[in-house]
Structures are given as C-alpha cells and as structure tokens.
Amino acid sequence: MPDATTELEHASADIVLTRDAREILDRAAKVATARGSLHIVPADVFNATLQLPGNLADAEMRALGFDPKSIAPLIEANGAGETLPLRQLLVNANREAGVLGHYQVDSIHLLLAMLYTDSPSTSVPLMKAGLTLYDLRRHVQTGTKTGAPPVHGSARPDADLRKRPWPSLQGVLGISPVFIGIVGATAVAGVLLWMNYLPRYVAFLTLLFVVGGWVTSLCIHEFGHAFVAYLGGDRSVAGAGYLTLNPLRYTNVTMSLVLPIIFLLLGGIALPGGAVYINHSALRSRVWSSAVSIAGPVGTVLCGLLIAGVFFVAPQHSWITQGNLNFFAGLAMLGFFMALA
C-alpha cells in the first residue's frame, strides 16, 4: 500500500517543526496514504489540522470568527486541481515563521502557507470563506482583528513562538577516540600505581597518570566553554569539533597542548592550556558570554573537588596504604596542578 511518510521525511528534513506541526504533518501523511497516494497535498494538511484540536491554527481561525470544520467541505469541493508540493508548502511556512520572528514552524505557519496563491486548492476556498493572509497575520501578531484598535497589555497569540528554543543536542555531542585513549591510559596508570604491580616503573607511571589526568581535565575545561557557547547560540563550536572532547581540535595544538605539557614536565608549572574559539557575537546576550567564560573553570573546579573528595573519604576508610602510596602522591600532584591552572 502506498505510504506518504517518505515524502514527509524528505520534505521536512531541514525544517524545524514544533510538536503540533509535526503531529499535523504525520496525520496528513496518514490521510494521503488512506486515499492511496504517495504525495501529501495542502488539503491533506488542512484536514489533519482539524484532527488536532487546540493547535494555534485552529484557535486563530475560531478567534477570527470562522468554524474550521465548515471550511473543510469548501476545500473538498474545490477538487484536487493544481496542488502545491509538500516541500514548497513547508518552505513557504518556514518563510512565514521568519517574517513573523518565530524560530520554529508551527500549525499557524502551515495555515498561512495554505493562503499563498501558489496553493490554489486551499487559498481559494479559504479566501471565499473570508479568511485572508493579512487578517490572519495581524491577529497572530497583535491578538486583534483588522480595524480594531490594539488592546494594551493583551497577550500575543504568538508569544511562545517568539521564544528561541533550546538547540537540539542530537548528533552534536560525542566522545572522540583520542579522549577515550587519554582517559584509558590515565586509568591504566592509576590502577598499576594503586596495585603497585610495576614498582620499577613508578616514576613513568606517575608521570603518565598526572599528565593524562591533567589533559583530561583540560578537555573537560574546554568542553565546558564550548557546550555553554553552543547552548547560547554559537553553533560553530559543533562544526569545529569542540563538543567531542578531542584536544587535537583546539585552535592551536602546539600552543594549547604541546607547550603546556612541556612546561608541566620541565618545571611543574600547570599553564591554563587549551583554546577553543568562541564567536561571542553569535551568543544570545552578555549574560551568555559571561556564562561561557565561567563554564570552563567550573569544569576544572569539579575535577578538583572530585580529587579533594577522594582525600576526604580515603582516611576514613583506611584506603591509603604503603602499597598504594604512590597513587595518592600522584593524585595529590594532579590536584595541585588543577588548582594552579
């Protein structure tokens, strides 16, 4: 049996939809499938809108004095005629969202797109019923009908749509193999120091444990900057790979990673290290810019508190013994370096 879902997936792939809009389009796909078609037409979308009571499009039509169910027969009577492809309908709806200052395509934008002249199968019967693009836009933005003075302090129907939604984290966050390797090497060194399996290599294992732990905390520090920046509006950090905890993706690996490690080895000086480029002009506000600056040190502080917590609990449970003394010595040094950084 034909299924219109495939067309919907392709047509809406790059369109950000609200929950209501997604539900309406899913139902429209079922309507199209039920009539034996692989293609969703604007009339299917309108009929699906009626199946979801309480959506903004339904509420706006009723607020303007129209009964949506009485308009449906007019659209059906208009016949198939020349229909607009679903993709173009969604592009028009997305354009309406942009014009109105909205961040997602909602049911109201689908209705506005159905009033475009390039969708005669819906625009003609809707306008015959008395619903116009201008009246609908005005009411969405002001909550008043054409010719009526705006009411001071009245709630705008599109208030929720004007709020910028949180960005989706799907497919954005990740853990790079490089970071996994660093954490793994640090963990192995820590276990060997704890068990005291290789006493002849204590110096090397301590070095590996401390440097690996410091680089791990550095990755967390920079991830904090990038993660908050992404939430704040800077999408470039995702493309730069900063959200994968990969230290090799930093702006300048030599200055950000190699030289700080060398200074750490030579003089026991923990430089801040790490550098992710943040586009502060893309952030929502100065508050977000400040939050980005604070996020990195917060990550380092959390790592330091974790180490401090170990030393707080260890004496109470007699964890520190002669056999694992080197482990706690290395952990103390790591905590000291985090405090310096």
Q: Judge whether 7 counts as a catalytic residue.
A: no
CA dist list (Å): 318 to 147, 158, 207, 315, 324: 81, 62, 25, 5, 11
Which CATH superfamily includes the segment(s) 5-162?
Clp, N-terminal domain (1.10.1780.10)
**Any bridge partners for residue 33, and if so which?**
none
CB 120 within 8 A of CB 88: no
Number of neighbouring beta carbons within 10 Å of residue 6: 11
CB 100 within 8 A of CB 140: yes
**The pTM of the whole model exceeds 0.85:** no
Domain range list for the chain: 5-162, 177-340
CB 265 within 8 A of CB 333: no
pLDDT for the residue numbered 80? 55
Q: Report which secondary-structure segment, H or E, holds 46.
A: helix 42-50
Interval 256-314: pLDDT, tens: 778 888 888 886 677 666 678 899 888 888 999 999 999 999 999 999 999 999 999 99
Number of neighbouring beta carbons within 10 Å of residue 182: 21
Query: How many residues are given for the chain?
Result: 341
Candidate list 7, 60, 96, 222, residue with the active-site label:
222
Quickly state the pLDDT bin for 149 (edges 50, 70, 90). low
**Any bridge partners for residue 105, and if so which?**
17
